[in-house]
Amino acid sequence: SLKNLVDFWSSPTHTLTPIIFSVNPSSRRHVLRFLKQQNLNATVLTNNLQEWIDREARYVKSRLQAFAGRDESINFETYHPYEMIETILKSQTAKFSAKVIYSTIGKTYENRNIYAMVIDENPNESKPVVMLECGIHAREWVSPATCLWISNQLLKNSSESELLQKFSFHIIPVANPDGYVYSWRTNRMWRKNRVPNDFFGFCRGVDLNRNFGTNFCKTGASPISCDNSYCGKKAFSEKESQAIRDHVLSIKKSKLKAFFSVHSFSQFWMYPYGYKDDLAQNHEQYNTLSKLAVDAIRKVHEEQYQYGSISKIIYKASGNTIDWLQENNLSEVSFAIELRDKGYYGFFLPPHLIRPTAEEFWAGVKAVIQNI
C-alpha cells in the first residue's frame, strides 16, 4: 500500500484523471517499484519539490512588492499571507461601509480570528443568502485568493449591483487561519488545522472537512491523528468547524439558498452526497444547476469542469461540510468545488492564473444562484 509512503495531492477517483502525490526521497524507489508491479505508469514531475516551493515563494514576494499600495489589483494579482488578508478586509470595510461588514465568527486554537464578510447593498432588507467557505484546507491557496477576488468584484463592479439587490453574500475568506499561516511559514504542503492531538503534540491537526456531524469519521476519514484526513476526536470538536456551523445556524431558516465550499484542485463541480452513493432527494435540481455552472465556466476561458456527486466523482468522504448542510436541510443547495488546475501545477497554481480561475468560478456561482 502507498498510504503511509506518499502524500496524495489528488486521490484515486472514479474518473479518468491522474493521481498526483509527493513522496519522500527515501521512499521514492520503493514507490516506483510498487507502481511498476501494479502495471501503473508514473511520470516524475519534479525530483525536488522544495524547488517548486522556493520558486513560488520568490515569485509571490516579488508580486507583493510590485503591487504594494496598488489597491485596485491587490486582491487577485498574487497570494496573500493571513495578516495581509486581514488588512484587505479592514480596507474593504472602510471603503464600502454601506455594503460590507466583517465580523469575527470564531477563534482558532492559536487565537487567530475566523472572519466572515457580509456583502449586501441593502443590509436592512431580509434577502436569500449565498455563502462561500474558502480555505478550509490550508495548502489550497487559490481558494482564499478566489474568494477575495469575488468580494472585490461584488464591492467594486457596478455590474454586480443587481445581484446585491437580490442576495446577501456571506464569505468566509480563510476558514483555517492557523493551517494557512503554517503553510506560509513552515510547511507549504500542510492541509489540516494546528490543534495538538496528544500531550506531546507529535501529530497535530484535524482535517476540518471531515469534522462535521454527518456520518462522522466513517468512510473517507481517518481516526489516526497523524493522517491528513484525521477526523478529530468527535464531530465539531474543532473551533473552525464550530464557527462555520454556528454562522450557518445564525442565518434564518430557509434563507440560505446556496452554499459553496471552495477547494483546489482538479476542476470538479460536486454536490452531495460524499459519504454514500445514494442520490440526494433534490438530485435532479443539483444535476441541472451543475450543468448550467460548468457550461458557464467553459464560456469564460474554455476550461472544462466535471460535475456530479462527491462519491461518484472522486471518493467517499464522510463528515464534510456540504453533506451536513444537505442532511439537516440548512441550505437549498450546497456544492463543493475543486478549482484549477487538473494537476500540472496542483497546489502551486501560478499567481497569474488566480484571476481567470476566479472569473470562471464566479460565472458558475452566478449560473447557480440565478436559476435556483
245: CATH: 3.40.630.10
Residue 64 lies in a domain: no
- Tell me what pLDDT residue 25 has: 83
pLDDT band at 217, cuts 50/70/90?
Answer: very high
Which residues, in sequence order, are CB contacts of 76 under 8 Å at separation 6+?
145, 148, 149, 152, 354, 355, 358
Which stretches of 123-265 are DSSP H helices?
142-156, 161-166, 177-185, 239-250
Residues 31 and 111 in one domain: no
How many domains are there within the chain?
2
Does the structure show a pLDDT above 80 at 76?
Answer: no
Pick from 76, 63, 69, 67: nearest CA to 149: 76
| Low-confidence winner among 65-69, 198-202, 226-230, 276-280 (lowest mean pLDDT) | 65-69
Residue 45 lies in a domain: no
Q: Tell me the mean pLDDT in the region 274-280.
A: 94
Residue 244 lies in a domain: yes
Does the structure show a pLDDT above 80 at 68?
Answer: no
Residue 56 lies in a domain: no
Residues 170 and 33 in one domain: no
Residues 33 and 75 in one domain: no
Does the structure show a pLDDT above 70 at 198?
Answer: yes
Residues 304 and 224 in one domain: yes
- Tell me what pLDDT residue 47 has: 85
Residue 59 lies in a domain: no
Residues β-bridged to residue 259: 131, 334
**pLDDT per residue over 334-350, tens digit each?**
999 999 999 889 999 99
Residue 11 lies in a domain: yes
Residue 53 lies in a domain: no
Q: Tell me the mean pLDDT in the region 185-197.
A: 96
Q: Tell me the mean pLDDT in the region 290-296.
A: 99
Q: Tell me the mean pLDDT in the region 34-60.
A: 85
Residues 23 and 125 in one domain: no
Give the side-chain half-sphere CA count within 13 A for 186: 9
Pick from 342, 343, 341, 348: nearest CA to 54: 348
Residues 244 and 352 in one domain: yes
Residues 174 and 306 in one domain: yes
Which residues, in sequence order, are CB contacts of 236 under 8 Å at separation 6+?
211, 212, 213, 242, 245
Active site residue 72: no
Residues 11 and 111 in one domain: no
Pick the residue with more confidence: 60 or 251?
Answer: 251
**Active-site pick, 56, 86, 160, 338:** 338
Q: How far apart are CA 161 and CA 157, in angstroms?
A: 8
**Entry pTM:** 0.90
What residue numbers bound the domain in which 15 lies?
Answer: 6-37
Residue 230 lies in a domain: yes
Residues 225 and 150 in one domain: yes
Give the side-chain half-sphere CA count within 13 A for 279: 8
Residues 18 and 74 in one domain: no
Residues 109 and 244 in one domain: yes
Residues 15 and 119 in one domain: no
pLDDT band at 44, cuts 50/70/90?
Answer: confident
